[in-house]
A = this chain, B = another copy of it.
Amino acid sequence: MGSAGEGVDARVRMWAPACQAVALLLGPYAEVVLHDPDTDRILAIWNSMSSRGPGDPSLLGELDTLDPSARDVFGPYEKLLADGRRLSSVSAVLRDEAGKASAVLCVNLDRTPLEQAAAVLSAFGAPTVPRPEPLFEQDWSERVQHIVGAYVRECGRPVERLTRQDRLAVLADLDEAKVFAVRRATPVVAGALRVSRSTLYGLLAELRAANAKDQTS
Protein backbone atom coordinates (compact mmCIF):
# COMPACT_ATOMS: atom_id res chain seq x y z
CA MET A 1 0.00 0.00 0.00
CA GLY A 2 2.30 2.76 1.14
CA SER A 3 4.27 4.53 -1.54
CA ALA A 4 7.09 2.40 -2.85
CA GLY A 5 9.40 5.31 -2.34
CA GLU A 6 9.30 6.57 -5.89
CA GLY A 7 6.95 9.24 -4.75
CA VAL A 8 3.44 9.99 -3.73
CA ASP A 9 0.96 10.78 -6.42
CA ALA A 10 0.92 14.49 -7.12
CA ARG A 11 -2.79 14.68 -6.57
CA VAL A 12 -2.45 13.04 -3.20
CA ARG A 13 0.32 15.47 -2.35
CA MET A 14 -1.97 18.30 -3.27
CA TRP A 15 -5.10 17.15 -1.49
CA ALA A 16 -3.79 15.15 1.43
CA PRO A 17 -3.57 18.05 3.86
CA ALA A 18 -7.18 18.97 3.28
CA CYS A 19 -8.30 15.39 3.56
CA GLN A 20 -6.29 14.78 6.66
CA ALA A 21 -7.60 17.92 8.25
CA VAL A 22 -11.17 16.86 7.65
CA ALA A 23 -10.42 13.39 8.90
CA LEU A 24 -8.88 14.81 12.04
CA LEU A 25 -11.66 17.25 12.63
CA LEU A 26 -14.40 14.70 12.33
CA GLY A 27 -12.66 12.25 14.57
CA PRO A 28 -12.70 8.52 14.04
CA TYR A 29 -16.19 8.52 12.63
CA ALA A 30 -15.56 10.14 9.32
CA GLU A 31 -13.92 8.36 6.45
CA VAL A 32 -12.21 10.49 3.86
CA VAL A 33 -11.43 8.95 0.50
CA LEU A 34 -9.59 10.24 -2.52
CA HIS A 35 -10.53 8.44 -5.69
CA ASP A 36 -8.80 8.34 -9.02
CA PRO A 37 -11.55 8.79 -11.57
CA ASP A 38 -9.38 7.42 -14.37
CA THR A 39 -8.31 4.11 -12.92
CA ASP A 40 -11.36 3.86 -10.75
CA ARG A 41 -9.27 3.14 -7.73
CA ILE A 42 -8.68 4.58 -4.31
CA LEU A 43 -5.75 6.97 -4.22
CA ALA A 44 -5.72 7.47 -0.50
CA ILE A 45 -7.97 6.98 2.44
CA TRP A 46 -8.13 8.30 5.97
CA ASN A 47 -9.99 6.64 8.82
CA SER A 48 -11.10 3.80 6.65
CA MET A 49 -14.36 2.43 7.95
CA SER A 50 -14.78 -0.32 5.43
CA SER A 51 -11.32 -1.84 5.40
CA ARG A 52 -10.64 -0.46 1.99
CA GLY A 53 -7.20 0.80 1.17
CA PRO A 54 -5.28 2.63 -1.53
CA GLY A 55 -5.34 0.72 -4.80
CA ASP A 56 -8.60 -0.96 -4.02
CA PRO A 57 -11.28 -0.46 -6.59
CA SER A 58 -13.21 2.68 -5.95
CA LEU A 59 -16.81 2.67 -5.09
CA LEU A 60 -16.82 5.20 -7.88
CA GLY A 61 -17.10 4.53 -11.52
CA GLU A 62 -16.16 7.19 -13.98
CA LEU A 63 -17.92 10.15 -12.58
CA ASP A 64 -19.17 12.51 -15.12
CA THR A 65 -15.85 14.20 -14.79
CA LEU A 66 -15.51 15.42 -18.33
CA ASP A 67 -18.47 17.70 -18.49
CA PRO A 68 -17.43 20.94 -16.79
CA SER A 69 -21.04 22.04 -16.68
CA ALA A 70 -21.99 19.06 -14.55
CA ARG A 71 -22.30 19.46 -10.85
CA ASP A 72 -19.12 18.91 -8.95
CA VAL A 73 -20.56 18.45 -5.50
CA PHE A 74 -22.94 15.67 -4.60
CA GLY A 75 -24.89 14.95 -1.52
CA PRO A 76 -25.18 14.74 1.30
CA TYR A 77 -27.07 11.58 0.77
CA GLU A 78 -27.79 8.92 3.29
CA LYS A 79 -26.27 5.50 3.33
CA LEU A 80 -27.63 2.80 5.56
CA LEU A 81 -25.26 0.21 6.91
CA ALA A 82 -26.36 -3.23 7.91
CA ASP A 83 -26.00 -2.64 11.59
CA GLY A 84 -28.23 0.37 11.37
CA ARG A 85 -25.49 2.92 11.32
CA ARG A 86 -26.41 5.84 9.16
CA LEU A 87 -23.79 7.54 7.14
CA SER A 88 -23.98 10.97 5.72
CA SER A 89 -22.01 10.96 2.55
CA VAL A 90 -20.80 13.73 0.31
CA SER A 91 -18.52 13.73 -2.69
CA ALA A 92 -16.81 16.32 -4.81
CA VAL A 93 -15.00 16.35 -8.10
CA LEU A 94 -11.60 17.97 -7.71
CA ARG A 95 -10.26 19.68 -10.80
CA ASP A 96 -6.84 20.92 -11.77
CA GLU A 97 -6.02 24.28 -13.29
CA ALA A 98 -7.00 23.03 -16.71
CA GLY A 99 -10.40 22.07 -15.41
CA LYS A 100 -9.72 18.39 -15.75
CA ALA A 101 -11.10 16.21 -13.02
CA SER A 102 -8.04 14.87 -11.30
CA ALA A 103 -9.62 13.28 -8.29
CA VAL A 104 -12.86 12.64 -6.49
CA LEU A 105 -13.20 13.32 -2.81
CA CYS A 106 -15.66 11.42 -0.66
CA VAL A 107 -16.42 11.98 2.98
CA ASN A 108 -18.52 9.44 4.82
CA LEU A 109 -19.62 10.46 8.27
CA ASP A 110 -21.05 7.96 10.71
CA ARG A 111 -23.90 9.79 12.34
CA THR A 112 -24.63 7.08 14.87
CA PRO A 113 -22.41 8.26 17.71
CA LEU A 114 -23.86 11.71 17.50
CA GLU A 115 -27.39 10.42 17.37
CA GLN A 116 -26.74 8.19 20.33
CA ALA A 117 -25.15 10.94 22.31
CA ALA A 118 -28.00 13.21 21.44
CA ALA A 119 -30.46 10.58 22.55
CA VAL A 120 -28.70 10.21 25.87
CA LEU A 121 -28.51 13.89 26.48
CA SER A 122 -32.08 14.56 25.49
CA ALA A 123 -33.26 11.69 27.63
CA PHE A 124 -31.52 13.14 30.64
CA GLY A 125 -33.91 13.65 33.50
CA ALA A 126 -36.85 12.37 31.54
CA PRO A 127 -38.58 9.13 32.37
CA THR A 128 -37.36 6.68 29.83
CA VAL A 129 -40.36 5.43 27.94
CA PRO A 130 -40.00 2.16 26.07
CA ARG A 131 -39.58 3.22 22.53
CA PRO A 132 -42.16 1.78 20.15
CA GLU A 133 -40.37 -0.64 17.88
CA PRO A 134 -39.92 0.73 14.42
CA LEU A 135 -41.55 -1.58 11.96
CA PHE A 136 -39.59 -3.81 9.74
CA GLU A 137 -38.29 -2.24 6.61
CA GLN A 138 -41.57 -2.10 4.82
CA ASP A 139 -40.33 -2.28 1.31
CA TRP A 140 -36.96 -3.91 1.09
CA SER A 141 -36.90 -3.74 -2.68
CA GLU A 142 -37.00 -0.02 -2.23
CA ARG A 143 -33.85 -0.34 -0.24
CA VAL A 144 -32.29 -2.24 -3.10
CA GLN A 145 -33.25 0.51 -5.46
CA HIS A 146 -31.91 3.04 -3.04
CA ILE A 147 -28.53 1.41 -2.68
CA VAL A 148 -28.15 0.83 -6.38
CA GLY A 149 -29.41 4.31 -7.07
CA ALA A 150 -26.99 5.89 -4.66
CA TYR A 151 -24.14 4.14 -6.36
CA VAL A 152 -25.25 5.10 -9.80
CA ARG A 153 -25.70 8.67 -8.74
CA GLU A 154 -22.25 8.57 -7.24
CA CYS A 155 -20.55 7.41 -10.37
CA GLY A 156 -22.86 9.20 -12.73
CA ARG A 157 -23.38 6.26 -14.95
CA PRO A 158 -26.57 4.36 -15.71
CA VAL A 159 -26.95 0.87 -14.40
CA GLU A 160 -26.40 -0.70 -17.79
CA ARG A 161 -22.87 0.65 -18.08
CA LEU A 162 -21.60 -0.34 -14.70
CA THR A 163 -18.34 -2.24 -14.80
CA ARG A 164 -17.83 -5.57 -13.20
CA GLN A 165 -16.07 -3.84 -10.33
CA ASP A 166 -18.99 -1.50 -9.93
CA ARG A 167 -21.45 -4.31 -9.63
CA LEU A 168 -19.16 -6.04 -7.21
CA ALA A 169 -19.10 -2.95 -5.06
CA VAL A 170 -22.84 -2.47 -5.17
CA LEU A 171 -23.24 -6.10 -4.32
CA ALA A 172 -21.01 -5.63 -1.32
CA ASP A 173 -23.23 -2.81 -0.16
CA LEU A 174 -26.33 -4.89 -0.68
CA ASP A 175 -24.85 -7.82 1.14
CA GLU A 176 -23.77 -5.52 3.90
CA ALA A 177 -27.34 -4.33 4.15
CA LYS A 178 -28.40 -7.95 4.56
CA VAL A 179 -30.61 -7.73 1.56
CA PHE A 180 -30.01 -11.38 0.82
CA ALA A 181 -31.54 -12.39 4.09
CA VAL A 182 -34.87 -11.49 2.53
CA ARG A 183 -36.84 -14.05 0.64
CA ARG A 184 -36.94 -13.75 -3.11
CA ALA A 185 -34.44 -10.95 -3.03
CA THR A 186 -32.04 -12.54 -5.50
CA PRO A 187 -34.07 -12.10 -8.67
CA VAL A 188 -34.93 -8.56 -7.69
CA VAL A 189 -31.29 -7.71 -7.18
CA ALA A 190 -30.32 -9.36 -10.42
CA GLY A 191 -32.94 -7.27 -12.15
CA ALA A 192 -31.84 -4.08 -10.45
CA LEU A 193 -28.26 -4.72 -11.44
CA ARG A 194 -29.30 -5.71 -14.96
CA VAL A 195 -27.49 -9.01 -14.88
CA SER A 196 -28.65 -12.56 -15.14
CA ARG A 197 -29.22 -14.74 -12.16
CA SER A 198 -26.13 -16.73 -13.05
CA THR A 199 -23.94 -13.70 -13.15
CA LEU A 200 -25.37 -12.53 -9.89
CA TYR A 201 -24.33 -15.74 -8.21
CA GLY A 202 -20.96 -15.54 -9.85
CA LEU A 203 -20.32 -12.07 -8.50
CA LEU A 204 -21.62 -13.13 -5.15
CA ALA A 205 -19.19 -16.01 -5.02
CA GLU A 206 -16.34 -13.70 -5.95
CA LEU A 207 -17.39 -11.34 -3.22
CA ARG A 208 -17.46 -14.08 -0.64
CA ALA A 209 -14.03 -15.27 -1.72
CA ALA A 210 -12.66 -11.76 -1.33
CA ASN A 211 -14.20 -11.45 2.11
CA ALA A 212 -12.75 -14.76 3.14
CA LYS A 213 -9.34 -13.62 2.03
CA ASP A 214 -9.79 -10.44 4.04
CA GLN A 215 -10.54 -12.48 7.10
CA THR A 216 -7.36 -14.51 6.91
CA SER A 217 -5.01 -11.67 6.21
Given A113-B126, A126-B29, A140-B181, residue A146 in contact with residue B133 (CB < 8 A) = yes
In this assembly, does A198 line the interface, its C-beta being within 8 Å of a C-beta of chain B?
Answer: no
Q: How far is the CB of A120 from chain B (nearest CB, A)?
A: 5
Q: For the complex, count residues of A whose C-beta is within 8 A of B.
A: 45
Say if the beta carbon of A70 comes within 8 Å of chain B: no
Copies assembled: 2
Q: In whole Å, how far is A119's beta carbon from the nearest beta carbon of chain B?
A: 8
Chain A residues with a Cβ under 8 A of chain B? 25-26, 28-29, 49-51, 82-83, 85, 110, 112-114, 116-118, 120-122, 124-126, 128, 130-131, 133, 135-140, 143, 146-147, 176-183, 215
B residues in contact with A128, CB < 8 Å: 49-51
Report if A125-B49 is in contact (Cβ < 8 Å); known contacts: A135-B177, A181-B183. no
Complex Cα distance, B138 from A177, in Å, reads 8
The CA of A215 and the CA of B130, in the complex, are separated in Å by 9
How far in angstroms is the closest Cβ of chain B from A185? 8
Q: Given A29-B126, A125-B113: A178 and B137 within 8 A (CB)?
A: yes
Which residues of chain B come closer than 8 Å to A176, judged between CB atoms?
A: 135
Q: Name A118's contact: one of B110, B116, B139 (CB within 8 Å).
A: B116
One of B28, B114, B181 near A124 (C-beta < 8 A) = B114
| A181 CA to B51 CA, complexed, in Å | 31
Residues of B within 8 A of A130 (CB): 215
**A28 vs B50: C-alpha distance when bound (angstroms):** 34
Q: Is the CB of B178 within 8 A of A181?
A: no
